[in-house]
Structures are given as structure tokens and as C-alpha cells.
Amino acid sequence: MTDPAPHPHATEEEVQAAYSDPKLANILYHDWEAGTYDEKWSISYDERCISYATDVFNAVAGEDGQPYPTAMELGSGTGFFLLNLMQGGVIKKGSVTDLSPGMVQVALRNAENLGLDVDGRVADAERIPYPDDSFDLVVGHAVLHHIPDVPGALREVLRVLKPGGRFVFAGEPTRIGNFYARKLGQLTWWLTTNVTKVPALNGWRRPQEELDESSRAAALEAVVDIHTFDPSELERMALGAGAVDVRAVTEEFSAALAGWPIRTFEAAVPQEKLTVRWRMFAYHLWLRLSALDKKVLAKVLPRELFYNVMITGTKP
């Protein structure tokens, strides 16, 4: 069966319909974002993101079993997690899947440019189009919170895993973390778009039509972001789906408190204003705060306070 083509320019009627249909919203939003997604989220396929992806993976799953012969990324987007894990030696052969045809197209193009052995399918996480016992590993980054039926998707993940196979999902928002991140992002957007109305700072203002489009995308983003997670509840959900050896880990507290305003500011100003010096400052600040989170704050703060939750488990 032929996968559907990308649909990056939704009609007003389709957008309105998406507000009551999370799956349609995910397709429209991610097809819309596919071409600029890597730039928006500072995604790369070099040492910076290879280190990030492998560090996140190892933090929750450890290094045993690497390299995994076959792996699938669920809700792959542009391939960020899978492709960087492949480059980091964690995975040999990969498959990308996403509900958005545009994202699958970009992920396959990224894989081809990197010379990686990857195939791809447009796929609903609740009905994964692969046979039972297909993969040694299933991974996902920032995907579970988009899926209407998370327990159903986890059961599907376990179905396509080989016995003893592992899943790793990372980048999921915690309930408390999402609350403060959203508030910080909204405040930063309001401040930046209003302060740049001042004539002396007008050069820092993006054209109004671009700001309006970003606002429409943000409104649709609120529809596609369905869930937040309590780490203990997420563990119980995975156990209920049939997984064993389940473990959730959280990360990013001070890094999120700084990172969300920075990312929102970057989205609200013209890209040419963001110099290499600024980008290096933002990156190194994130690195320092992430180290503070791991070495100090993770030992003294409840895991529920951190922004990201990662979870792993295996198929019996």
C-alpha cells in the first residue's frame, strides 16, 4: 500500500476540523512544520546531538545490548533520535515511522544524506504496520504525549518487539514541568513581541504575518500536545501494557527554566539576529545547567519537578 503524500498547506476548514480531531491535528501540524522543524528546535546530526541522544538513551537504558541490530522510531519526526543513535553506534539498521507523511519524507532524506540504512512508513502508533516480533529496539522522542491512546500504543510497541527487546521513550513532558514551561514560554512570547514594537527595537521584530502564522501553529500545537505524565503513572502504564523491567528517569529542571524562554525568544525574532555567538552561548548555558541538574538537583529534588521524563522496559 502506498503511503499518503505530505500535506503542508492545510485549508481553513481542515484546521478548524483538527481542533476536535487530535490525529488530524498531528498530521496537519507536523506536515506544516516538517520543512523547518530541525531549525526550529536546533536539531542537528553532528556531535552535539549525537552526544545528547546517546547520553539520554544510556541514562535510562544503559549500554548493555548495544549495538541493537534493528530498531524502529515511533513518531520519528525528522529522525532526530534514531539517526543520531545510529551515528552514535547504538543501532545498526533503522526504521522511521510517523503519522505525518511530511516528517517521514524529511527523516528519510536526512538518513540518505547521512548514508544510514533506514526505511520508513507513515504509521499510526496505535496500529503499527509491522509484523509481530520485528525489532530488537523501539525508540521515541517527544512522541507519547501526542498519542490519544498511550496504553494501546505501548501494547503495539511490545507486539512488534522481539522477545527480550527493549523500548526507550524520552523527551516526554512531566505534569509539573509542562506547567512552568508553558507559562515561561507564553510570558517570553508576550514580552518579546510587545517590546519589539518599540521603534528602536523594530529590527528585532519578525514580520506580522510570520508572527500570526506562528501563533496559529502554537494554537494547533496546544491540540496536538494531548498528555503530560507523572513518572510513577507512566511506569504503571507500561507495566499494565505487559512490559517488564520498567524504569522512569527525569531530567532538566534548571535547564528547562532557562531553555524554554530562550527557545521562545529565538522563535519570536528574525533568524538573522541569532548570531553564532548567541547560539553557542545558549548551547553552553544549557550544557552547564543540565550538568547542574544531573550532578546536584537530581539528588535533592523530587523527580516529578523535572521537565522531561524518560522510560524504558522490555518485552518478556
- Output DSSP code: residue 302: -
Q: Is residue 298 part of a domain?
A: no
Could you read off the pLDDT of 142-187 as tens digits, one per residue? 999 999 999 999 999 999 999 999 999 999 999 999 999 999 999 9
Q: Is residue 282 part of a domain?
A: no
Half-sphere exposure of 57 (CA within 13 A, CB side): 31
- Output DSSP code: residue 174: B
Q: Is residue 299 part of a domain?
A: no
197 — phi, psi (to 5°)?
-75, -20
Element (H, E) at 4: none
Q: Is residue 286 part of a domain?
A: no
CB 82 within 8 A of CB 57: no
CB 27 within 8 A of CB 7: yes
Q: Is residue 120 part of a domain?
A: yes
* Cα 39–chain centre separation: 14
CB 69 within 8 A of CB 136: yes
- Output DSSP code: residue 3: P
CATH number reported for the structural domain that contains residue 39 in this entry = 3.40.50.150
Could you read off the pLDDT of 287-305 as tens digits, one per residue? 999 999 999 999 999 999 9
Domain count, the chain: 1
Predicted TM-score (pTM) of the model is 0.89
> Rounded mean pLDDT of the chain?
92
Task: Give 34's pLDDT tier (boundaries 50, 70, 90).
Answer: low
Q: Is residue 80 part of a domain?
A: yes
Domain that holds residue 119: 12-175+219-252+306-315
